[in-house]
Amino acid sequence: MKITLKIWRQKNRNTPGEFKTYVMDNVNPDMSFLEMLDVLNEDLMSRGEEPVAFDHDCREGICGMCSLMINGVAHGPKNAITTCQLHMRSFKDGDTITVEPWRASAFPILKDLVVDRSAFDRIIQAGGYISVSTGSAPDANTIPVSKVAADRAMDAAACIGCGACVAACPNGSAMLFTAAKVTHLALLPQGQPERYQRVVNMVAQADFEGFGNCTNIGECAAVCPKEISLDTIAQLNRDLVMAALRGIEPNTPIVPATTR
Ligand code: SF4
Ligand code: FES
């Protein structure tokens, strides 16, 4: 396959970026998208040029690192997969493919296609945990969980923190990510002690990080590789109302965004 790539190149967060064009004449359709970028980088390095920086780790849809906007769609043209699970056979011979980093002010560009998603870590730090007594693990059967609650909690727990939802949202909102984490714990007995403080703290942290508000557009769920449902946002909003009725305010010091 012959593929023309228009790739965003940017030296660092303080310098302006631009699209650079690369023509690849011999792309194997069975390559993954990231393997295709590996081949491009080998070629660039053999010519003494700077390789394209892009994020990746597991390359099997688990870690959430591979964050690429491909032809304007987060994770590319196929539904419910990550960029690393996308193959070149999803494109046609002669195609031009535009590759950009996530675009969101809360995810500043570090280099080329790599963005800083540590804001997600701080949202988790603000409330995405439970408190348990130390000692040996309790017998699982001593904490009954209904099948319905367990299934919904596990569906929410599938979120891999990739940030596609933010990149796709016109508001740059992190609501689907935050709602997935809130819902996962809100539905389980282990998540009850901190339930309402958690939702208040995590939403406050998302606001602090500069993510936008949710206006129910739904682009987030459309691009989510793990098919996290908008129902999680409804769950988050219900818990926020319950927290407000209880008069609960954010109580964690906002973690300074030291990497900005
Ligand atoms: S909700 Fe979906 S798109 Fe957003 S971070 Fe989680 S897995 Fe990625
Ligand atoms: S590299 Fe881990 S999900 Fe794509």
For residue range 123-179, list pLDDT tens digits in order: 999 999 998 888 887 787 888 999 999 999 999 999 999 999 999 999 999 999 999
Report whether pLDDT(260) > 60: no
Specify whether the CB–CB gap between 97 and 4 falls below 8 A: yes
Q: What is the dihedral of CA 218, 222, 228, 230, to 10 degrees?
A: 20
Alpha carbon nearest to ligand 1 atom 6, residue: 159
How far does the centroid of ligand 1 lie from the alpha carbon of residue 169, in Å? 12
For residue range 186-217, list pLDDT tens digits in order: 999 999 999 999 999 999 999 999 999 999 99
56 lines ligand 2 (CB under 6 A): yes
Report whether pLDDT(259) > 70: no
Alpha helices by DSSP H, 47-194: 118-127, 147-157, 164-168, 175-186
How far does the centroid of ligand 2 lie from the alpha carbon of residue 63, in Å? 5
59 lines ligand 2 (CB under 6 A): yes
Q: 19 has which bridge partners?
A: 8
Specify whether the CB–CB gap between 181 and 159 falls below 8 A: yes
For residue range 69-80, list pLDDT tens digits in order: 999 999 999 999
How far does the centroid of ligand 2 lie from the alpha carbon of residue 130, in Å? 26
* CB-neighbour burial class of residue 125 (10 A; exposed 0-12, middle 13-18, buried 19+): middle
Q: What is the pLDDT of residue 256?
A: 62
Percent of all residues in the chain with a pLDDT value above 90, rounded to a whole number: 91
Percent of all residues in the chain with a pLDDT value above 70, rounded to a whole number: 97
For residue range 77-99, list pLDDT tens digits in order: 999 999 999 999 999 999 999 99
Q: What is the pLDDT of residue 6?
A: 98
How far does the centroid of ligand 1 lie from the alpha carbon of residue 151, in Å? 18
Residue corresponding to tokens 């596609």: 164
Backbone angles phi, psi at 97, to 5 degrees: -120, 125
Report whether pLDDT(257) > 60: no
Report whether pLDDT(254) > 70: no
84 lines ligand 2 (CB under 6 A): yes
Structure tokens at 149: 């609650």
Alpha-carbon distance of 254 to 122, in angstroms, equals 9
Q: Which atom of ligand 2 is nearest to the CA of 162?
A: 3
**Pocket-forming residues, ligand 1, beta carbon under 6 Å:** 159-165, 176-177, 180, 224-226, 228
Q: Which atom of ligand 2 is nearest to the CA of 61?
A: 3
Q: What rounded mean pLDDT belongs to the chain?
A: 95
Alpha-carbon distance of 239 to 127, in angstroms, equals 14
How far does the centroid of ligand 2 lie from the alpha carbon of residue 162, in Å? 8
Q: In the chain, where do the E strands start and end?
A: 3-9, 18-24, 69-70, 73-74, 96-100, 109-111, 114-115
The CB density around residue 42, as the number of other CB atoms within 10 Å, is: 11
154 lines ligand 2 (CB under 6 A): no
Alpha carbon nearest to ligand 2 atom 3, residue: 61
